Amino acid sequence: MSVGLPAVIFEKIRNDIINEAYPVGSKLPPERELAVRYKASRFAVREAIAMLAQNGYVETLPQSGTYIRDFYRNGSLDTLVQTLHVRRVIDRQTLDSLLNFRYTTETSAAADAVQRVTDNDLKYLGENLKRKKENLDQIFVLSECDYDFHYKIVSISGNVISRLIFQSFKPIYSFFTEFFYSLQGAAETSLVLNLQLISALKERDREGAFQAMADILKYGEKKVYEAIDDNDELIEIRQR
């Protein structure tokens, strides 16, 4: 048996769980049935189930069986990332929470960065925007530049906890920025708004930096919500 087979089976079962082939609260089929379904040994299936439990997708109860947990509501940030990449959908409450988190964290970070920003920091941010300007039609490059720009602002602010949370947030962040930069006009307008933030940092304008970051985030929120149906509880996010 290949060393990586349990991981392959884990991914297949996990994807089926995320896609609701096994509904939340239902009992996972016995190992022997899963072994046939996924063309693997019972040992590989057993190892995969242990991985599913470790990642919060299932719970094994002694003398009862293995049950599907409400992983979306009770899982970790990593669980949310995996779910987004498999299903490409998110519920509106989670989307609202993510956008609110960014607004609260990053506007404060921009204001705090005013007193700590150095010439080297400004040079880094300027080079970042130069790369962004040179790749306005490259979604993945734009997404990478966007994350690096905002992460740098959070880092300059000196808030260690915000920086650590922002790092763990990267996969979800990238998921949405790739969608954002697929929208018409997003890259060009984003570049202009980013330049306004750099200008405020150069002038050591705390209020201006706060407002510039607020404008960046509010524009992103506006573009995303314009691209989805207001009546949908589950929002589909796909590349365009």
Q: What is the pLDDT of residues 30-44, one digit of tens each?
A: 999 999 999 999 999
Where in the chain are the domains? 5-73, 88-236
Give residue 226's pLDDT: 87
Fold classification of 5-73 (topology level): Arc Repressor Mutant, subunit A (1.10.10)
Whole-structure pTM value: 0.75
- Greater confidence (28 vs 178) lies with 28
What single letter denotes the amino acid at residue 131? R
Q: Which of 172, 190, 187 is nearest to 237 (CA)?
A: 172
Is the pLDDT confidence value at 234 over 90?
no
| Residue 120, CA distances (Å) to 12, 126, 166 in order | 46, 10, 22
Phi, psi (degrees; rounded to nearest 5) at 29:
-55, 160
Is the pLDDT confidence value at 233 over 60?
no
Over the stretch 87-143, which tens digit does the pLDDT of each residue have? 777 777 888 888 999 999 999 999 999 999 999 999 999 999 999 999 999 999 999
Span 88-236: which CATH code?
Answer: 1.20.120.530
Over the stretch 176-224, which tens digit does the pLDDT of each residue have? 898 899 999 999 999 999 999 999 999 999 999 999 999 999 999 999 8
What value does the mean pLDDT of the chain take? 90
Q: Which residues contact 179 (CB under 8 A, 6 or more apart)?
A: 224, 227, 237, 238, 239
